[in-house]
Structure 1
Amino acid sequence: MTVKSVTHLNFRGDARAALEFYRSVFGGDLAVVTYKDAGNVQDSAEADQVMWGQVVTDDGFHVMAYDVPARLPYDQGENSFFLSVRGESAQEITAYWEKLSAGATIVQPLAPAQWAPLYGMLKDRFGVVWVMDVVSEYNG
C-alpha cells in the first residue's frame, strides 16, 4: 500500500484564483469542479465557486483547494499552517520564490541559513504562508 499526503487549502471565494496562481508558479495541470458542476448548489451566489480543485505537476507538486460555503464557519486563522516547498537546487527554489512573492508579504527573505543553502518564508496574496528551502544533508 502507498500513502501520499496532499495539502488541502480552504478559502472563502478565492480558491479558483489561488489555484490558477499556483499553477502559474509551479506549472502542471489544473482541475476544478464547481458546486454547479457537481449538482450541489445550495446558494446560487456560490454556484461557480470551487467544490474541489487541484494543481498537480509531473515533478511531484500537488495542492488541493476548495471554497468553504457561506453556511459553514470559516476562519483562516493565524499561523494555522505553513506550506513547505523543498527543492534540490537554489535555482529551482529561487524561481518559485520570485513568482510566489508577487503581491506577498515577505516574512523571512530568501537567503542562506545555518540549516539550508537557501531558506525563506512569505505570506502570499491569498494569506497562505509558504516556507521554501533547498534540501541539505543534516550533519547534526
Structure 2
Amino acid sequence: MSVNAVTHLNFRGDARAALTFYQSVFGGDVITITYEDAGNVQDPSEADQVMWGQVASGGGFRVMAYDVPSHLPWNQGENAFFISLRGETAEEVTAYWGKLSGGATVLRPLGPAQWAPLYGMLKDRFGVTWVVDVVSGYDAS
C-alpha cells in the first residue's frame, strides 16, 4: 500500500486559471469538474466554477484545487501554507522557477543557501507561496 499527500488549494473563482497556470509550468493533465457537472449548483453565477480540479504530471507533480462557494467563508490568509517544490538537479529547479516567477513576487531570489545548492521563495500571481530548492543531504558537522 502507498499513500500520497497532495496539496489542495482553495480559491474564490480562480481555481481554473490557477490549474491551467500550474499545468503550463509542470506539464501533465488538468481535470476539472464544475459545480454544474456535479449537479451541485447552489448559486447559478458559480455553476461553471471548479468543484474539484487537479493537475497531475508524469514526473510526479500533483496539485488539487477548487473554488470555495460564496455561501462558505474563505480567507486566503497570510502564510497559511507553502508548497515545497524539491528537485534533484539545479537545471530542473531553475526551469520550474523561471516559469513560476512570471507575475510573481520574489520573496528570496533563487540562489545558494547553507542547506541547499539552490533555494528560493516566491509568491505566484495567485498568492500561493512556493519554496523551491534542490534536494541535498543534510550534514550536521
What SS does the aligned partner of 1:92 have?
A: helix
Identity of aligned residues (%): 73
CA–CA distance in 2 between the matches of 1:104 and 1:4? 28
DSSP 3-state at the match of 1:52: strand
1:107 corresponds to which residue?
Answer: 107
Partner of 2:88: 88
Shift of 1:10: 0.1
1:119 to 2:119 alignment:
yes
Instruction: Number of aligned residue pairs: give it.
Output: 140
Residue type of the alignment partner of 1:97: W
Q: What is the CA–CA distance in structure 2 between the aligned matches of 1:104 and 1:33, rounded to whole Å? A: 27
Structure 1 CA distance for aligned equivalents of residues 112 and 4 of structure 2: 30
DSSP-derived class of the 2:79 partner: coil
Q: Distance in 1 between matches of 2:42 and 2:20?
A: 25
CA distance in 2, matches of 1:69, 1:5: 24
Q: Aligned partners of 2:92, 2:45: CA distance in 1, in Å?
A: 40
- Structure 1: stretches of 5+ with no match in the other structure: none
Q: Paired residue for 2:24?
A: 24
In structure 2, runs of 5+ residues without a counterpart are: none
Please give the alpha-carbon distance, in whole angstroms, between the structure 1 residues aligned to 2:59 and 2:16: 22
Q: Which runs of 4+ in 1 moved over 2 A?
A: none
- Aligned position for 1:78: 78
Residue type matched to 1:74 in 2?
Answer: W
- Measured in 1, the distance between the counterparts of 2:102 and 2:59 equals 23
SS in 1 for 2:40: coil
Distance, in Å, in 2 between the alignment partners of 1:134 and 1:125 is: 23
> RMSD value over aligned CA atoms?
0.5
Shift of 1:2: 1.7
User: What CA distance in whole angstroms lies between the structure 1 residues aligned with 2:108 and 2:101?
Assistant: 11
TM-score by length of 1: 0.99
Q: TM-score, normalised by structure 2?
A: 0.98
Deviation of residue 59 (structure 1)?
A: 1.2
Quote the Cα distance in structure 1 between the aligned partners of 2:90 and 2:3.
28
Distance in 1, Cα, partners of 2:4 & 2:122? 25
Q: Match of 2:4, as an amino acid?
A: K
For residue 67 of structure 1, what is the aligned residue in structure 2? Answer: 67
Partner secondary structure for residue 18 of structure 1 = helix
